[in-house]
Structure 1
Amino acid sequence: MFTRIIKLQNQLWWLGFVLLVFSFLVHAILSGVYNQAENRSGDYFIMNFCITAVYALALLFGRKNIHPAEKQAHRILLYALLLVSAWALNHSMSIFQSPVLWMSIVQVAVVVALITLCFFRYLPPLVNHIGIGILGIGFLLFLYMSIYLFPLYIFGIILAPALGISLHSFAPLFITITTIVLVEKMCRYRKAYRYSFFAGLSLAFIATVLFCIQWALAVKELNKAYRQSRITDNPDIPAWVQIAQQVSPDAVTEKALKLGLVYTEPGGNWDEWGFSMPSLSYNEPKKHDPLIGLASLFRKPAIGSDEKIRILESTYNNRYATEERLWDGDNLTTENISTHIRIWPEWQIAYTEKTIAVLNSGTNRFRGQEEAIYLFTLPEGSVVSSLSLWVNGVEEKGILTTKEKATTAYNNIVGVEKRDPSVIHWQEGNQVSVRVFPVMPDDQRLFKIGVTTPLRKYENEIVYESIFFTGPSGSKATETIKLEISDKSEIINKPSFLRSTDQRVFAFDGKYKPDWQFSFKAQDINPQSFVYKGKAYSIARYDQQLIPYAIEQVYVDINSEWEKKEFDDIMQLFRHKDILVYQNGWVKTTEQNAEELFKLLSKQHFSLFPLYAIKDAAKALVITKGNTAAPNLKDLKDTPFDTKTRKYFKTDKQLKVLDLGKAVSPYFKTLIEQRALNYEKADWSLLKKIADDHAFPISQETEDQVVLKDAGITIKRSDSGDVGNAPDHLYRLFAYNNIMRQFGKYRNDTLQDPVSLVAEAEQAYIVTPVSSLIVLESQADYERFNIKDSKDNLQNASHNKSGAVPEPHEWALIITGLVSLWYLHKKRRLKKAI
C-alpha cells in the first residue's frame, strides 16, 4: 500500500509535505519565543510566508507535471501551508487573539485528516471512518472561522495582487471548501462514509449546543443577580458582592465574567483586529474561543467591567491579574528557583530562602524593559524577613522602611526614572507582593526572598509547607532544593523527589515543585531562648484553656458550606438560647421559620457576616463555616461594610467566634490576624462542650506573649536571662504577631503609620502592614527618599546568621576573651624566641 502511495505522488507533492512539516516546526518552536504584544513574530512569519510562496510558485511552474487526479492533494498541502502561515501572522495582527487550546488541536487534526484522506482509496476503511469523522468535527470550526473573517475578504481580494499576505484571510474558507469536496468524493466512493462525517458533525453540533445552554443559564443567573442587587435592602454591601454570593462559581460563569476582559466578543470592534491597547485593569492575555463567541451572540452579561473584575479577583482567586502595573510583563517567565530551607523541629520554626531568576525573552532593546511582579502565598503565620536584588551582578540587601516611603520611592523610580529597584509589600490573606524592575530583553534578573515560618501542628506531627507564588509563568522552570534539619527528628512524611545526602540534609534538582509538605513527629519544645536588647524570647506549647462564659445569643453564619443537619444540631444544642441569622437584619430562628431561612441563606456561595451589627459582644457566640473563595476587607475598602467593621473593632470587643469549617474565610482571616476576634477552630465535640459547660477558650495573648494557634505554640518575651542558641526567628515571629495584635487599633487613625509599630518592625526587620523592604540602585537614592538603615537591629535574615545576638556586656566578655587569647599567644611566641 505504502509503495503505491509513493508512486502516486510525484516529487512536487513530497516537496510540499517536507515544507509543511518544516513550516509547522518553525511556528511551533518560535511562537513560544516571540510575543505578540510587540509584533516580534514578524520575522518568523516572513519565514513561514516565504515557505508557502515557494511551494505556490513550484505548483504554478510545475502544474503541467501534475496528474489531474493528484491536484487536490497538492492543493491541500498549499492550503495547509497557508493556514500555518496565517497562525504566524496572527501572532502579529491578533485577528483571532490567542486561540484557545482546543481550537488549535482541532485545526491540526483536520489538516492531518485531509492529508491522510488524499489516499482514502488505499487506506483501511476504519482509518477512513476515523479521518472523515474528524473532518465532521472540524467542519463547524472552519465554517465559523470563514464567516468570522468575511469582512476581510473584500480587502483580501483587492490587495492580493500587491500583497499576497492578504490571502491568509481565505485560508479557513479554502479548508472548508476542500473538506466539502473531499467528503463528497469519499461518499460517492463508499456511502457508509457519510455516516461517519455526520456523526462527527453531530458530535460537534451537540457539544456547541450544550455549551450554549450552559452559557445561557450562567448568564441568566448573573443578570438576575445583577438586577436583584440594584433593589437590595442591604446598602452596606456593594452590588458586586451580592452578585458573587448568588452565582455558582463554576468554569462557565468564570468565562462569562471574562467576556470582554479576556475572551473577545464578535462584532467587529477594533480590539478584534489587533488595535487593542494593553489593559491595566485585568492582566491576562486576550483569548479567542469560538464557543464563547457563538454563545455570546445570544446572551451577554449585563454587569460592568469593574464589577466583573471585582468578582473575579475575590471569588476566583485572580488577584494577581488585578495587580497594578507600571510596566507590562508579557515576555517574562520564571526560569529557575533555588530554594534553601532550614528547619528547627525543636523550636517548630523554619526559614526559607527562594532565589528566583526571571527571564525576559523579548528582543526589543529600546522598548522591551519590563516589570516582574510576584504574589507569594505564605503558610499561616509566616513573615518575610529578607529581600535581595542583584544589581550589576552584585547582591544588594533590602532596607526596611515604612510602606509609604517604599511605595513612593519605587513608583517614582520605575514610573519616571526607569532604574533599578525592588520592593516587597505585605498583603491581606497570608500574601506578599514582590516587584522587580527592570528586566531587560534577552536578559534575566535575580532576586531573593526570605520567609520565617512557624511549623503547623496537626495531631502528633509538625508540618513544613512549601512557599509558592503566582507570577511570570514557572511551568518550564527548574528548581534546586536544599533542605537542612537542625536535629535528628523522626520523619513521618518526606516527598519522594527529595533525596537524602546525609541524615539531616535533603536535596532535589529538577522541574519546579510548587506545592509539597515535609512532616516530623512532634517533640518537646527546646526551652532555650533568643536574647535581644535585654529581652529573652522563648517558645512553649499552647494549651487551650476554657473559662466560664455566659452565652445569651448564638449568631449562625449560614452559607453554602453548611449542611442542614449541622444547623439542626445547633438548634438543638442551643435550644434555650436566642439563635439568630442575618437576612437584611437579625432574624430569630424558630421551629416554624428555621427550614425556610436555612434554605434561603444556604444558597449564598459565601457570606459576609455583619459582625458590627452585634450589639452585645460580651454575651454573643458566632458560629461560622469558611469559604476561601470570598472577598477580604481590602476588597471592600471604603464601602459602608468596611467602615462599620473597622469602627466596631477599634475598641477591644473580643467577639467569640467558632469556625466549624476546614477553610477560613478571607474576611475572617484578616480580623483573626489582627486579633479583632477571640477565634477558635472547632469540631462538634468542642462545640458540645461549650454548650454544655457554658465555657469558652480564653485568649492567652498579652503584651509579652503571642499565640500561634495553627502551630500550637506560644512565644513569650521576658527579662533577659541566659543566652540560648535559639534562632533569631523567634523574635521576628513574636514581633510580627505583636504588631498585628496592635495594628487593628490604628485602622481608623490618620494615614500616618503608628510610630511604635514601625519601630518594632524595623528592629525585627520584617515586612508588615506598616513596613516594607526595598532595594534601590545607589546610596543617593536612599538619601533622596529619606530611607535610612540602622545597624542597631537584626538586619536581613540569612542561613548564616540565625543564632542569638550577644548583649553589650557579652560582647565585652567576648572581646576580653579574644584579647586574652592573643596575649597568651604572643607571650608563648616570645618565650620560644628567647
Structure 2
Amino acid sequence: MRHKLEILKQYTQKKGVSISLLVTGFSTTLLIISLIGIKLKYSDFESLAIISLLIEFAYGIILSSLILKSKEEYIHLLPFIILNWFIGCFCLNTFIPVFQDLPVWVYLTTFTFCISNFFIYKNSEEDFNNLVFFFINGASFGIILYFAFYLIPFTPLSIVGILALGMGFYGLVPAIVLIVHTLSILRYLQRNRLYFFSFSAGISTVFIGLLLFIIGLTIESRKIADTVIIKSFNNNDDLPAYISVSQNLEPNFFNEILLKKDIVYMAPDDFFSFRGFNSFGGKQFNQRKINNPFISIAYLFCEDPGLSNDDKINILRSNFDKRLETEEQLWNGEDLFTKNIKEDVKIYPDSRLAYTEITMNIACEKKSWGDEEAIYSFQLPEGSVATSLSLWVNGLERKGVLTTKEKAKKAYKQIVGVEYRDPSLMQWKEGNKVVVRVFPINNKTPRTFKCGFTTPLKVEDNEMNYQSLSIKGPNISKAQTISRIQIVGNTKIETSKNFDLKSGFYTNESEGLDNWHATMPLNKIHSNSFTWKNKVYEVKDIQKTIIPFTPSEIILDLNNNWTNKQIESFVNLKQKNIYAFINGRKTAITNENFKAILLDFEDFHYSLLPLYKLSQNSLIITKSGTFSANFEDIEDSNYLKKIKNGTKQRNIKVINIGADINPFWQTVKEQKYVDYFQTSFKNSLKMIEKHQFVQFKTDTNAVNIESAQVTILENPKSNLSKSNGTNHIYRMFAFGKVLEEQVKIQADTLANNQYVDLAKDANIVTPISSLIVLETDNDYKKNGIEKNVDTLGNASINNDGAVPEPHEWLLIIIGISTLYFYHRKNKKQTV
C-alpha cells in the first residue's frame, strides 16, 4: 500500500497533473450536478453544464497544444485530455442533444474507460498496469466504438462547427480517441500476452452479454413478425390489423423495447437521418427519445414486424398501460413536477360510498422556456365517478362548470392553443379512468387544482373495502403528501398504512402517493336517502333473482388463462352446442378436439368477440385477464359500429369465471350490452346444469351498484320522505343512468340529450360530459357554456348533505327572521 501511495505521489508531482486534477474534479462535479438536476426535473442546474463546457474547451485547447509541442514532456497527461474531452461531449449534449438522452450506465461506462486509461498508459519505469485494468478497459472500450460509429453522420457538421465556434470538435472526439487508444493499446498488448488475454476477456464478456440480449430480442421480434404474416390472411375488415398482434403479444421486457423502436428508443436508421426526433406518426407519445447503445445495436439484428408507429403506440396503450403517454398534449410538460398532494377521504358506511378529494400543487423548475401543460390520469375503482374540479386562478378558487364533452374540449383547445390563458379540463376515459389537464405552468406561476371522486365501497367477505386512487402525472414520487380519513358514524376501520390522530382527524404524512386500502365491517342498510327536486333517492340492498335460462349456444371466450380441465368440464356437460371463435370462425368444441383447440390459444391474451354474430339468447363463459383494447382504441372500426347496433337486442348473458375483468368487458358490462355475472368456475357449471342465470333486479327507477351490493331507488317525494344521507347518493344514481342509456345516444344530438342535462344536474363527468374551469365568466359565454344553475354543483368534502329546495329555503328564511326579531325584542325589554 505504501509503495502505491509513493507512486501516486510521484505521479501528482509531474508537470501539469495537479492543475489537471483540479480542472477534471471541478468539471465532473458540475456535470454530475447538472445531470442529476435534469433527471429530477430541477432544470436550474442545467446552466452548470455550460460553465463546465467552457472550462473543458479552454483546458482541451491548452493541453492539446502542449502535447503536440512537447510530446515527451506532457504525454503522461493523455488520459486527462481523453477524460476531459468526454466530459465536454456530455456537457454539450445537455443543451444540444446530439446523443439524445443517455442511460446512466453509458456515463458510468465511459468514465470507467477513461479512468482505466490512467493505469494502462505509462510514461515511466513504474508499473501502474495490471490484468484487472486491462479487463476493465476492454469491457468498456465498446462504448467508444459505438460513439464513433454513431457520430459518423455528424462529421461534416462537426468540421463546420470547428471552423465556426470550435465546439464542433466534440463531434469528432470518439473517432479521435478510438484511433489514439487503438494505437496505444496495441503496443502494450504486443509486449505481454497476459495483457492481451485480459483485454480480450473484457471485450468478450460484453460481447456475450450483448449476444444474449440480441437473441432474446430477435426471438420476440420473430414472433411478432410471424403473427403479422399469419394474421394477414384473416379476412377481417371489421377490426384494425394491429389488434391481432395485440391479442397475441405478451407484455414483457423485450416486447416493450421492440414496440418503442423509433418512438422512445433510437434505431440505427436514425443515425443517418436528420428528420425531426418526434416525427414518428400521426399519434403522439409523450416521452423523450433515449439513445441506448445495447438496444440500438440489437435493433440491427431484429426483423421488421411491419407495424406502423401508430400501430405500435396503440399496442403500447392496450398491452402496456401507456395511455397517459399517448394523451394529446398541446404543450410540453417535461419540466413539471408535483410538489404537494393533499388526499382527503370521507367514508359513508351507511351508504357504502366514499368521497375522495385530491389537491395537487404543480411546479416547474425550468427558467425562461415558456409555459407548460400538466396531464394527470386517475385510475378509479369500479363504478366510481368524478364529481368536482377546481383551479386556483390569481389566488382564488374557481370551480368547474359541467358541459358537453365536445364544448369543453373545443373551449380548452381554443384557450390553450390560441389564447394561452388559464383553463383546466376533466375528461372521462374508458376503463374507470379520468384525465385532468392544467395550463399554463412555468417557474414563476406554480398551479393548484383540486378534483373529487365519488367511489362505491366494494363488498367482499362481509367487509366493505375502500381502495385509494392510482394517479399518474408529472413526477409524483417526490411529492410531499398528507392524507386524511374521516368516517361518518361510529364504524370501526382498519387501514393498510398508519394514520395518526391529530387535531381530531386521522392523518398520514408521506412522500409520493401510497397505494393503500381500508376495510370495515359490512353495515346493514338502514333508511339512508337524499331528496332532490321533489324526488327521493334511497339506498337499498341489491336484489338478486335467479331466472330460468336455457342458452341457444354456449361460447367459450378462450385465451391463455384457461386450463384443459376447465374446458373439459364444460365439454362434459350435457350440452351439444358449445363453441369457440377461432380466427373469427365459430367452431364446435368436443371431447375429441378441445385439447388441440386450446393449443391455438396458448399465446392468446384477450379476445374481441363478434357479439353481433351470436344467436339470440347466447351464453358466453369468459375468463379475462387485466388488459385488452377498449372501445376508444377501435372507435372508428366497423366492429364497434356493429357492436353498438346489433348486440343489445340479442339478450346475451355473460359469466366471468375469473377474478379480473379487462377494459373491453368492463365497458360492455357498464353500458349494458349484455347481462353480466361474475362467479366461480364450479358455480358456473351448476348454473348451466340447472338452466339458470343470476340477474340483479332492475327497474327504470333504479340503478344497481354491484361492487357495493346496493341499489339506489328513485321515487316521488312524500311528506314522510327523509333526507338523512349524502348527496353522493344522487350523483351515483345519475352516473348509472347515463352509462345505461349512453348506447342510445347519437353524437350529433349530445347537446339536446336528456342525459346531458342529468349529468349537469348531478355535476358528474361521463362519456358525454366534462368539467372545465375557465379564467373569466366571459370565457364561458364566448364558448357557449352555461354556468351551473339549480344543480348540485361541485362536490365538496365539507358540504355533502341535502340541499334545501326553494320552499325549504323560504321556511329557513322565515325561521331566521323570527328568531332575529324575537332576540331584538327581548334585548329591548332587558334594557
- Alignment TM-score, normalising by the size of structure 2: 0.91
Q: Which residue of 2 aligns with 1:614?
A: 614
Distance 1:333 1:512 in 2: 11
Offset from partner CA, 1:574-633 (integer Å, 9 cap, x none): 33241011122211112222222221134322211111111212xx21101112321001
> Which of residues 338, 344, 347 in structure 1 aligns to 2:348?
344
Larger mean Cα displacement after TM superposition, 718-727 or 583-592: 718-727
| Secondary structure in structure 1 of the residue aligned to 2:300 | helix
The answer to whether the 8 Å contact 2:7/2:126 transfers is no
The answer to whether the 8 Å contact 1:135/1:179 transfers is no
Question: What is the CA RMSD across the aligned residues, in angstroms?
Answer: 3.2
The answer to whether the 8 Å contact 1:762/1:793 transfers is yes
Q: Which residue of 2 aligns with 1:760?
A: 758
Alignment of 1:713-728 (within 5 A): 713-720=710-717, 721-728=720-727
Q: 1:134–1:482: structure 2 CA closer, same or farther, 3 Å change rule? A: farther
1:782 aligned partner, one-letter code: Y
Alignment of 1:341-420 (within 5 A): 341-364=345-368, 368-420=370-422
The answer to whether the 8 Å contact 1:23/1:48 transfers is yes
Q: Which runs of 5+ in 1 are unaligned?
A: none
1:732 aligned partner, one-letter code: R
| Secondary structure in structure 2 of the residue aligned to 1:249 | coil
1:696 aligns with 2:693: yes
Q: 1:678–1:826: structure 2 CA closer, same or farther, 3 Å change rule? A: same
Offset from partner CA, 1:656-701 (integer Å, 9 cap, x none): 1011222212111111111222111111232133123221112322
The answer to whether the 8 Å contact 1:461/1:521 transfers is yes
Shift of 1:704: 2.0
Shift of 1:468: 2.4
Shift of 1:176: 4.3
Offset from partner CA, 1:39-89 (integer Å, 9 cap, x none): 9998544312222134335646877999959834x2222222221221121
The answer to whether the 8 Å contact 2:631/2:664 transfers is yes
Offset from partner CA, 1:467-489 (integer Å, 9 cap, x none): 12223232332222222222343
Distance 2:25 2:254 in 1: 36
Shift of 1:509: 2.6
The answer to whether the 8 Å contact 1:120/1:186 transfers is no
> Which of residues 311, 317, 330 in structure 2 aligns to 1:313?
317
> Which of residues 479, 482, 504 in structure 1 aligns to 2:481?
479
Q: Which residue of 1 aligns with 2:520?
A: 520
Larger mean Cα displacement after TM superposition, 160-169 or 591-600: 160-169
| Secondary structure in structure 1 of the residue aligned to 2:600 | helix
Q: 1:742–1:830: structure 2 CA closer, same or farther, 3 Å change rule? A: same
1:83 aligns with 2:86: yes
1:283 aligned partner, one-letter code: N
Alignment of 1:611-650 (within 5 A): 611-617=611-617, 620-649=618-647
Larger mean Cα displacement after TM superposition, 656-665 or 101-110: 101-110
Distance 1:790 1:40 in 2: 42
Distance 2:136 2:519 in 1: 50
Q: Which residue of 2 aligns with 1:820?
A: 818
| Secondary structure in structure 2 of the residue aligned to 1:772 | strand
Distance 1:786 1:162 in 2: 55
Alignment of 1:234-383 (within 5 A): 234-267=236-269, 281-298=284-301, 299-364=303-368, 368-383=370-385
> Which of residues 140, 145, 149 in structure 1 aligns to 2:151?
149
Alignment of 1:101-112 (within 5 A): 101-112=104-115
Larger mean Cα displacement after TM superposition, 654-663 or 508-517: 508-517
1:92 aligned partner, one-letter code: F
Distance 1:526 1:606 in 2: 42
Q: Which residue of 1 aligns with 2:502?
A: 501
Q: Which residue of 2 aligns with 1:167?
A: 169
Offset from partner CA, 1:222-271 (integer Å, 9 cap, x none): 22222233321322222110122233332212221221222222246675
| Secondary structure in structure 1 of the residue aligned to 2:559 | coil
Distance 1:739 1:273 in 2: 46
1:801 aligned partner, one-letter code: N
Shift of 1:779: 1.2
Shift of 1:168: 1.2
Q: Which residue of 2 aligns with 1:741?
A: 740
The answer to whether the 8 Å contact 2:677/2:695 transfers is no
The answer to whether the 8 Å contact 1:96/1:272 transfers is no
**Number of aligned residues:** 821
Offset from partner CA, 1:169-226 (integer Å, 9 cap, x none): 2333455456657766776887555544333322210111122222222222222222
Larger mean Cα displacement after TM superposition, 769-778 or 135-144: 135-144
Q: Which runs of 5+ in 2 are unaligned?
A: none
Q: 1:494–1:34: structure 2 CA closer, same or farther, 3 Å change rule? A: closer
Q: 1:75–1:124: structure 2 CA closer, same or farther, 3 Å change rule? A: closer
Q: Which residue of 1 aligns with 2:551?
A: 551
Distance 1:561 1:492 in 2: 33
> Which of residues 219, 236, 245 in structure 2 aligns to 1:217?
219
Larger mean Cα displacement after TM superposition, 8-17 or 563-572: 8-17
Distance 1:128 1:679 in 2: 71
The answer to whether the 8 Å contact 1:633/1:667 transfers is yes
Shift of 1:814: 2.7
| Secondary structure in structure 2 of the residue aligned to 1:443 | coil
Identity %: 30
Shift of 1:729: 0.8
Q: 1:185–1:709: structure 2 CA closer, same or farther, 3 Å change rule? A: farther
| Secondary structure in structure 2 of the residue aligned to 1:93 | coil
> Which of residues 97, 100, 103 in structure 1 aligns to 2:100?
97
Shift of 1:822: 1.7
2:424 aligned partner, one-letter code: S
Q: 1:556–1:29: structure 2 CA closer, same or farther, 3 Å change rule? A: same
Q: Which residue of 2 aligns with 1:803?
A: 801
Distance 2:271 2:112 in 1: 30
Q: 1:639–1:161: structure 2 CA closer, same or farther, 3 Å change rule? A: closer
Alignment of 1:507-586 (within 5 A): 507-542=507-542, 544-572=544-572, 574-583=573-582, 584-586=584-586
| Secondary structure in structure 2 of the residue aligned to 1:404 | helix
